Amino acid sequence: MLHGGHLLSVLIFFPIAGSLALLLLRGDDHKFIRVIAMIVSTAEFLFSLLMLRGASIGAAGYQLEENVKWIVAPPINYHLGVDGISMFLVLLTTFLTPISVLASWNSIQLRVKEFFIMLLMLEVGVVGVFLSLDLFLFFVFWEVMLIPMALLIGIWGHERRVYAAVKFVLYTMTGSILMLVGIIWLYNATGTFDLPLIQAALANGLLTNAPQTEMLLFLAFFLAFAIKVPLFPLHTWLPDAHVEAPTAGSVMLAGVLLKLGTYGMIRFCLPLFPEASHRAAGWVALLAIIGIIYGALVSMVQPNLKKLVAYSSVSHLGFVVLGIFAFHNISIQGAVFQMLAHGISTGALFLLVGMLYDRRHTFEISEYGGLSTPMPKLAAFFLFVALSSLGLPMLNGFVGEFLILLGTYQRHWGWASWAALGVILSACYLLWSYQRVFFGQITVEKNRTLPDASWREKGILAAMAIVILWMGIGSVFITRRTETATNTVMEQIAPQRPYEAAAPARGMKQAPTGFASENQAQTTSMERLGTR
Amino acid sequence: MTAQLVVFFALAALAVIGAVSLILQKHPIHSALSLIVVMVALAGLYLLMGAEFVAAVQIIVYGGAIMVLFVFVIMLLNAGVEEHTSISKMAGIPGLLLVVALAGFVAATIAKSGASVQAATQTGMLSSTKGISEMVFKDFVYPFELTSFLILVAILGATVLAQREKS
Amino acid sequence: MPAYPILEYLWIIPLLPLLGSAINGLLGSKWPNKYATTAAISSTGLSFLCALEAVREFFANGQQLVHKQYFDWIVAGNFRGGFDLQMDQLTVVMVLVVTGVGWLIHIYSVGYMGHEGGYYRFFSYLNLFMFFMLILVLAANYALLFVGWEGVGLSSYLLIGFYFLRKSASDAGKKAFIVNRIGDFGFMLGMFLLFRTFHTLDFRAIFDAAANPAWGHEAWGQFGTFTVACLLLFMGATGKSAQLPLYVWLPDAMEGPTPVSALIHAATMVTAGVYVVARSHILFVHSETAMVVVAVVGCATAFFAATIGLVQTDIKRVLAYSTVSQLGYMFLACGVGAFGAGIFHLMTHAFFKALLFLAAGSVIHAIGGEQDMNKMGGLWKKIPWTFWTMLTATLAIAGIFPLAGFFSKDQILLGAYQISGGKPLYAVGLLTALLTAFYMFRLIFLTFTGKPRFDEHKAHVHESPWSMLGPLVALAILSVIGGWVAAPALFQGRDYFADFLAPIFGTQENAEVLGAASAHTLELTLAFVAVIAAAIGIGVAYWMYLAKPGKADELAKSMKPAYTTLLNKYYVDEFYAAAVVRPLVWLSTNVFWKAADVAGIDGTVNAIAQGATSIGDGVRHSQSGNTRSYAVWVVVGAIVILAVIFFWPSASKTAVGMVR
Amino acid sequence: MIPTNYYVILSAILFGLGVFAFIFRRNIITIFMSIELMLNAVNLAFVAFSQALGKLDGQVFVLFVIVVAAAEAAVGLGIIILIARNRQTLNVERVDLLKL
Amino acid sequence: MIDHLPRAIDIYRTLPELIWCCFGVLAMLLQPFVRSRQFFTALALIGSLAGTLASVFALVNSGPGFYGLIQSDSFSFFFRMLVGTVTFLVVLAAGPYLDRERLPIAEFYALLLFATAGMGVLASAQELLTAFIGLEMSSISSYILAGYRRDALKSSESAMKYFLLGSFATAFFLYGIALVYGATGTTLLDQMANADMTSTLLKLGLALILIGLGFKVAAAPFQVWTPDVYEGAPTPVTALFSAGPKAAAFALLLRIFATVPAATRFWFWAFWVLAALTMFAGNLGALVQTNVKRLLAYSSIAHAGYILVAFAAVTTMSSESNRGAGPAYAAVLFYLLSYALVKLGAFTIVSQLGGAGEKSLSLDDYAGLSQRQPFVAAMLSVYLLSLLGLPVTAGFFGKFYIFKAAVNSHLLWLAILMAINSVIGAYYYLRVIVVMYMREPSAEAAALSPVPFPVGVNLVLLITFAGTILFGVYPNPVINFILRPSLLGH
């Protein structure tokens, strides 16, 4: 199934090549290194654009697939593929990377080479996660992405960077290890790591898990994703990580890494464990709603600008999770869109905060005030981004939130009504902080002489602003392409499959396709192991 | 109560007494001597079981060689009465209880399951020495050869460890 | 070239202001003011002309509904939010009001803002507002309407906070936006419910579906779908149109430049709520409850705001409260089913209230930024144009025959009187009319008559430039003749306005209620009563502020508590601050953030880590370094293994399949 | 005829005493002797079993054990001498530089 | 009488051990005459290499040897290769160390080779007494090597502790053998197959054997000796300890397991408990360490725990189906391989950075290493990440296979405990990386000039690093080999 050439492999390995090239460069010629990094990331972005052409709209299933044997026992394949959802998330990643490179142009001055290498490796990990269709491969990339991010935070971060970095890693590992156990368990039940195969097995009723088993598996996966998202009680790593990370780190973290969680939910939790998802939906939604309101309220009272944005992410991602677990095709569409929108607008917010930091080296809101006077352009961009983040129609934030709430309301009007409070609160914290930072008289003398946005910054922000506006008006361009994927998910989680009643309590139905009851599945998989 | 049994109990008692005195003696030399007593007693038991070759080796190698080595070292280091420290918390009452528990359990288990070993039928029938030599040089030639290397290791170790630092 | 170009390309009307806004926003900073002026005025003016042309074509086209789909904005599942515009009689009225009044105010602003900093910014915002407002009134589905709905909120936020150096200004802007958001919360839920019920958000589809009587009780009933949906939409309306309990932002909004108050907070934006209710009237008439709520809220607001208006001394705040009160009138109209009257009042009110604000602006402009009426007086000779135009507007709002306000207010009261159980509403409405007349003339007398209460040397009073007076005059004329379209009705003639809107709202109910003749006599009597009430109000004002100056203060002293309560606007803001804002902030800071997040969750995590470390320390200390202890450990291990092998329950058999 | 059991139980007792000695003596040399005691207990068991089973390999094992014991003795005493030379004590409890 | 002499085939099947021993003897004999280190290093290298290659020869004509005392099969081949390679690398790494510490060279290598031979015997022994001899060969050599820095107090102390406790445990092991012999009448493993399971004597014997071997593999609560001995021993020797003898002991355990059904049956829960205890003991103990060498010692305890998890898996699986245990064996073997590579690399770096007299072993000495010696820091990080089990390192697959084995045999709780432990482990491995990359060195540490890395050491690092990455990306060859059904002779 090697149609579509090796575009996806290129997407994964090109940044690796780039970082190797950087590795060979001399460490002290910073200018040159930055330029190379910029070229590489931009080229990567252009490559990724080719996916739009390569993937045909409305075609079901995965496209541009690549499937090569990798490990013999247990059989693990190097299996890549995109659908509407992953395609745009990859685009988001490849778009944000050059932006981050540009954003750290001057702010990173020590160990420049290593910095950009880490950035590119991070891109590799993330793109790999989005593209891999083999559970094992997925997990590999999932872990690969961990270390570069940790180092980005830990080496180039601010005061408490080490604490934040370690916290980040430990939180993520806690989830991911359990997910590994879950993946293996799933393998034992099916004898394969291949996502499409497992989905097929579920679709035609060959694989049915006992309710309790399924719930355990679901939790194993869900925990990992919930930590990444982060869902309400598991979110405390986020503020620290964000506050301590360098601008580029925060941009990638908020823009892309958080999406890995929600992506995982859509891609794995729902399709693989439909019944469990349905049973858990209520609780998940509860947590999501708590996250929306709680995150917004906490964000509102933060004295630290970056923390404020971080908590706002908790609130926004709550919307996404809610949309996913409302099981309504509109809300899931909205969730996907919201992922992208949040990636752009929150990324932009972090960029702006970073620009303020570059000027004053503090995140304390009290240190600012009246900045509109010295830097009107930055103020204008900030307002624009803030508006998109609080969901003003015709900007990207609105489309996602609106669809999520609309869809959710169709199934559970109560959830939607509670979540909609977030719309009010987001206005509160964003406008309040904006007022405190940019309006009024200048309170701190230093601020009087701050320079307005430089050309580089203007370029970055203009790019973001254009995307924000375009997504807000031309949302159809995206939704048209994600529709089939989300509909597929909807079909996969459609509750009752006919033969369920007849299905045995655990394990799989006897069937010619080689799926055997769980124990036999083990032996079959072992035989597969043994005979290789 | 046959004569054999009397002898057995005598020797057994001797062995146990020796072991206990090994524990009770304060001076290493006395411990060494009581250990020798145990070994002699065991040799007697081997004879009782008709394993004369083993008995001989027991006396010669153990009693003769190894214990002499011990005594020699004790003299060399002129180790006096051992000082009685009890720094280790573990090796106090808890240690005592644990050891008693362990030994008691092992002994009890063996006592219970002794039946599983059927009593000897023909004692001393097999002319042990010849048989032993055959086994050593035929069936067990490989470990036998290995032991030679083992002894080389020992020699090597002794020299390396004991030789004074050459400046 | 299509037969009706503008109708074909309706989007041109909103687009022009957007262009103006974009040009000014992007390039204005580097431009001299006159370019900015040109861009702003020409764009709005052009869009006004386009609107006129569109209306002409609309009539030429035989007043058929025009509905155009331009492009898909949001599509997901079976939901389609398209960029669809439509034009019907209601739209015509709104578009003309918005573009017309808007254009006049733009012209006025040229003079008024001439010497302000951020000139281009101001016009950019103002044009942006025009764009969103036009989207709002032209939209053909709720989704797009919501775009305009939020958009005008945004522009009002920007314009109120125009003087962002003043904290009060930025506060007011923020307050306006957030309070509006609270309304929008309801509005969104309303939309969702509508979609859930009708599976679409297009006006036509929904109204056609709603119109058919197939709807069962669950939809019609006390708390059926319609009721809930209507109440939710109305919640949005209360936010946007400053009704109880969400009116609080409007008075503060006076922090913005006066033209803004005139355009946004008097003529157009604040009437959006009324427009939405009128637009969705088919849903409302299906729900008794909703109608009653609308009527009562509107009536209550009208009276409540009027009472506050009685004692305010800031000229713009008086006008603000009168706006709130007049909006209440409009909702009262809608609530009693007289939607036509509501829209009619909306139009006339747009004329005279805009005029009032602009005139007030001219006054403020004249005496150098002073807004306190106690520091004015005797201005009528110095700024005659302003005085006369403002007087006209005041008479109009007071409802004096034959000015615009008379006809519209008269219709509303009539509507209220006619519906069953509407008498109390009528009474309150009448009383409010009296109060209105009183405080408006109080304003006139304090401002223009009596002896000057300001330092004449410092403030060299001067009449405003023609760029400002022109709009005043134009609006004055409109305030006079604006109501005459309905005049013939008084003389057995036809109510052209009502007839024009009939295709949308159906014919006036009173025809059915009782015979045309008796209806007519009733109408005349009510009109007469209303004028009397207004006259009384004016009289009292004359007596208190002109005939016997100082009477007012005595009165104030004599009933101090009432007076202070009114002066402090019934302490509503204080109440909200104490009941909502401060508790929320406190809760978020101390409970959610400090307690739950930092201490609770993070504390637990760190505690776990701490615990692991301390256990680790324990393990470490089992490494006493003493060989004897180690030997005991070995014995321990031996015992553990023996115990497990000999005494572990299922140790002997390895259970297969069970999870260990 | 003496039951094998007796021998084995005796060996168990001796082994236990060896463990006891190992733990409750402080002098390194004595401790080492207690190890020898344990090995002797093992030998007794071997011989007893071989005799009971009527097979000779048990006795062969004894020979091997004795050889190993000898080797261990050589090395062990070497180490003991090293310790004694390095820190002038034979008390095992005093040798606790490595800990925690 | 001819038939009494061993046949050539027996020699072939034990060739590696014999070669190693012979070279050991050779080194001993030449020691008085040759002074140069290079010579002995070369000799030892050749010897270890020759033995390792000879194991191929042994594999080619595989089968039982010496009347079934030993078994030359894929299994023993794997372990002979493993220990042979380990020795080879240790020889390479030890050279500079011996020079630096001015220690006798020939004896060191000779002992190393004898120890290797002992491990080889352990790996191939099919009979308990032979195994015992092999065990003693490796152990006694280890005792001596541990005390090889005679004048260093710590070194001699570690030797003493290792020796006393080691022989103590050996006595248990031996007593176990005696009881098993008594119960079954034989010490040949394959003849125990049809022993009656009910015999408590057998049960007891197996239990005692497990105690002895549990001590050797440093399973909690026998682990107490490990940190002290590892810390005190010369670092290259520590590297050997952590890789070689442990692997050999595991090999013996595994073989007993695979061939003696009784053991399979009695030992399951023991392994379950030991695994849990060991994981926690190792990881929690390591949390608070500040001495890198000691920290790695604790971590090796933890890893023994992980391997024991796989053992528990073996039990259930082999009880379920005769060949079912394959994956679990694979897990153990692959883990030992990856782990040996990584630990060797790590300890080699530690020994090199330790400097003369092993002075700078504390974490603070590693602060800012990434600036001083970026490549060393990077390599050490890779090793640590492999220990932590992150992808594209061999350690990841090792951990993955163990998880898989555990889940395969429904050891869910054990798997979860292991998951928890890997998180705890992550913390202290990261701590080292953090120190190297994120903490600024103290003044004097910054002043230090980079520690030189001689060719031999670099070669070791290169090999281990390459192995770690290679098996982390493409483990197929190894997996294919260790999954062949004929892994254990029969």
Both B60 and B135 in one domain: the answer is no
Is chain E in touch with chain B: ≥3 Cβ pairs within 8 A? yes
Alpha carbon distance E431, E438 (integer Å): 10
Asked if residues A165 and A235 have their Cβ atoms less than 8 Å apart, the reply is no
Within 10 A of D91 (CB to CB), how many other CB atoms are there? 16
Both B68 and B132 in one domain: the answer is no
Among E110, E136, E200, the residue with its CB nearest the CB of B150 is E136
Alpha carbon distance C366, A190 (integer Å): 85
The distance of E332 to chain B (nearest Cα, Å) reads 28
Q: What CATH number is given to the structural domain containing B20?
A: 1.20.120.1200
Angle at C141 between CA C238 and CA A324, to 5 degrees: 90
The distance of C653 to chain B (nearest Cα, Å) reads 20
Give the pLDDT confidence score for residue C652 in this predicted structure.
42
**Is there a domain that residue B158 lies in?**
yes
Among D61, D86, D99, the residue with its CB nearest the CB of E156 is D86
Band (pLDDT 50/70/90 cuts) for residue D16 is: very high
Please list every residue in chain C whose beta carbon sits closer than 8 Å to the beta carbon of residue B87: 624, 626
Alpha carbon distance C36, C102 (integer Å): 17
ipTM score assigned to the predicted complex: 0.89
Interface contact E151, partner D, CB < 8 A: yes
Among D21, D54, D96, the residue with its CB nearest the CB of B22 is D21
D99:C625 CB<8 A: yes
Give the pLDDT confidence score for residue C654 in this predicted structure.
45
C637:E222 CB<8 A: yes
Report chain A's mean pLDDT, rounded to a whole number: 86
Within 10 A of A43 (CB to CB), how many other CB atoms are there? 15
Helices (H) and strands (E) in chain C, counts: 30, 2
Residue C620's closest chain E neighbor by CA?
E285
Both B115 and B161 in one domain: the answer is no
Within 10 A of C586 (CB to CB), how many other CB atoms are there? 11
Kindly provide the b/e burial profile for residues C77-112, where b requires at least 16 CB atoms within 10 angstroms of the residue's own CB: bebbbbbbbbbbbbbbbbbbbbbbbbbbbbbbbbbb
At a CB cut-off of 8 Å and minimum separation 6, what does D57 contact? Answer: B135, B139, B140, D50, E187
Residue C640's closest chain B neighbor by CA?
B102
Kindly provide the b/e burial profile for residues C527-543, where b requires at least 16 CB atoms within 10 angstroms of the residue's own CB: bebbbebbeebbebbbe
Q: Is A77 helix (H, G, I), strand (E, B) or coil?
A: strand
Hey, which residues 565-624 in chain C have their CB within 8 Å of chain D?
620-621, 623-624
Give the dihedral sign, CA E89/E95/E98/E103.
Answer: positive
* Both tokens assigned to E200: 């408590």
* Both tokens assigned to C227: 């009721």
* Both tokens assigned to D30: 């004595």
Alpha carbon distance C188, A484 (integer Å): 27
Overall average pLDDT of the A52-65 stretch: 82
The distance of D4 to chain E (nearest Cα, Å) reads 10
Interface contact E231, partner C, CB < 8 A: no
- Reported as a single tens digit per residue, the pLDDT across A73-127 is 788 999 998 988 999 999 999 999 999 999 988 888 888 888 999 999 999 999 9
Does position B1 have pLDDT exceeding 90, yes or no? no
Give the pLDDT confidence score for residue D99 in this predicted structure.
82
Question: Chains with ≥3 Cβ pairs under 8 A against D?
Answer: B, C, E
A402:C605 CB<8 A: no
Residue A165's closest chain E neighbor by CA?
E434
Q: Distances in Å between the alpha carbon of C118 and those of C127, C162, C254, E458?
A: 14, 9, 19, 69
**3-state DSSP helix/strand/coil % of chain B, to nearest 5:** 75, 0, 25
Short-list E369, E344, E355, E351, CA closest to E231:
E351
Both B74 and B132 in one domain: the answer is no
Quickly list DSSP for C147-186.
HHHHHHHHHHHHHHTTSTTSHHHHHHHHHHHHHHHHHHHH
Does position A3 have pLDDT exceeding 60, yes or no? no
CA atoms within 13 A on the CB side of C650: 8
The distance of A261 to chain E (nearest Cα, Å) reads 19
Both B118 and B163 in one domain: the answer is no
Both B118 and B141 in one domain: the answer is no
E423:A177 CB<8 A: yes
H or E segment and range at residue B46: helix B28-48
At position C274, the amino acid (one-letter code) is V
Within 10 A of C144 (CB to CB), how many other CB atoms are there? 27
Please list every residue in chain E whose beta carbon sits closer than 8 Å to the beta carbon of residue D79: 143, 147, 156, 159-160, 163
Both B2 and B69 in one domain: the answer is yes
Is chain B in touch with chain A: ≥3 Cβ pairs within 8 A? no
Give the pLDDT confidence score for residue E234 in this predicted structure.
92
- Reported as a single tens digit per residue, the pLDDT across A335-366 is 999 999 999 999 999 999 999 999 888 899 98
Hey, which residues 7-26 in chain B have their CB within 8 Å of chain C?
none
Short-list B66, B158, B81, E145, CA closest to D90:
B81
Asked if residues A41 and A97 have their Cβ atoms less than 8 Å apart, the reply is yes
Both B138 and B115 in one domain: the answer is no
Angle at A153 between CA A108 and CA A138, to 5 degrees: 120
* B164: containing domain: 128-167
Alpha carbon distance C534, C548 (integer Å): 20
Short-list A248, A258, A366, CA closest to A305:
A366
Band (pLDDT 50/70/90 cuts) for residue B166 is: low
E147:D82 CB<8 A: yes
The distance of E163 to chain C (nearest Cα, Å) reads 11
Both B118 and B161 in one domain: the answer is no
Number of domains within chain B: 2
Give the pLDDT confidence score for residue A298 in this predicted structure.
92
E174:D65 CB<8 A: yes
Q: Tokens 């687009």 identify what position?
A: C15
- Reported as a single tens digit per residue, the pLDDT across A202-243 is 877 777 778 888 898 999 999 999 999 889 888 889 999 999
Hey, which residues 118-137 in chain B have their CB within 8 Å of chain C?
none
A405:C188 CB<8 A: yes
Short-list C654, C392, C632, C426, CA closest to C529:
C426
**Per-residue confidence in pLDDT tens, chain E, 490 aa:** 456 667 888 888 999 999 999 999 999 999 888 888 889 999 999 999 999 999 999 988 888 888 889 988 888 999 999 999 999 999 999 988 988 888 888 999 999 999 999 999 999 999 999 999 999 999 999 999 999 988 888 999 999 999 999 999 999 999 999 999 988 888 888 888 777 777 888 889 999 999 999 999 999 889 889 999 999 999 999 999 998 899 999 999 988 888 888 887 788 888 999 999 999 999 999 988 889 999 999 999 999 999 999 888 877 655 544 445 667 788 899 999 999 999 999 999 999 988 888 888 888 888 888 888 888 999 999 999 999 988 889 999 999 999 988 888 888 889 999 999 999 999 899 999 999 988 888 777 777 778 888 888 999 999 999 999 999 999 988 888 888 777 776 5
Give the pLDDT confidence score for residue A497 in this predicted structure.
47
**Alpha helices (H) in A157-273, listed in sequence order:** 161-190, 195-203, 211-228, 237-244, 247-252, 258-264, 270-272
Residue E135's closest chain D neighbor by CA?
D68
- Reported as a single tens digit per residue, the pLDDT across E377-411 is 999 999 999 999 888 899 999 999 999 888 888 88
Within 10 A of C480 (CB to CB), how many other CB atoms are there? 18
Question: Chains with ≥3 Cβ pairs under 8 A against A?
Answer: C, E
The distance of C605 to chain E (nearest Cα, Å) reads 13
**Alpha helices (H) in E289-390, listed in sequence order:** 292-320, 326-354, 369-372, 374-388
Both B59 and B2 in one domain: the answer is yes
Band (pLDDT 50/70/90 cuts) for residue A293 is: very high
Q: C610, C619, C622, C656: which to substitute to probe chain E, counting the most E Cβ within 10 Å? A: C619
Give the pLDDT confidence score for residue D1 in this predicted structure.
67
Does position B121 have pLDDT exceeding 60, yes or no? no
Q: What is the 3-state secondary structure (H, E, C) of A79-113?
A: EEEECHHHHHHHHHHHHHHHHHHHHCCCCCCCCHH
Does position A139 have pLDDT exceeding 90, yes or no? yes
D100:C620 CB<8 A: yes
At a CB cut-off of 8 Å and minimum separation 6, what does A208 contact? Answer: A202, A500, A503, A504, A507, A508, A509
CATH class of this structure's domain D4-95: mainly alpha
- Domains of chain D, residue spans: 4-95
Both B11 and B69 in one domain: the answer is yes
At position E210, the amino acid (one-letter code) is L
At a CB cut-off of 8 Å and minimum separation 6, what does C406 contact? Answer: C396, C399, C400, C483, C527, C530, C531
Among B73, B120, B143, the residue with its CB nearest the CB of D4 is B120
**Is there a domain that residue B32 lies in?**
yes
Helices (H) and strands (E) in chain D, counts: 3, 0
Please list every residue in chain C whose beta carbon sits closer than 8 Å to the beta carbon of residue D19: 635
C170:A329 CB<8 A: no
Q: A408: exposed, middle or buried (C-beta count within 10 Å: 0-12, 13-18, 19+)?
A: buried
Give the pLDDT confidence score for residue E483 in this predicted structure.
82
Give the pLDDT confidence score for residue A522 in this predicted structure.
40
**Is there a domain that residue B150 lies in?**
yes
Both B119 and B147 in one domain: the answer is no
Contacts 24+ apart (CB under 8 A), C518-525: C520/C492, C522/C414, C522/C417, C522/C418, C523/C410, C523/C414, C523/C489, C523/C490, C524/C490
Q: Which residue has the higher pLDDT, A294 or A513?
A: A294
Q: Distances in Å between the alpha carbon of C481 and those of A120, A398, C433, C527, E135?
A: 71, 43, 20, 17, 115
> First-to-last CA distance in chain B?
67
Q: Which residues in chain C come in under a pLDDT of 70?
A: 1, 213-223, 458-459, 507-517, 649-660
Does position A504 have pLDDT exceeding 70, yes or no? no
Short-list E171, D45, D13, B28, CA closest to C631:
E171
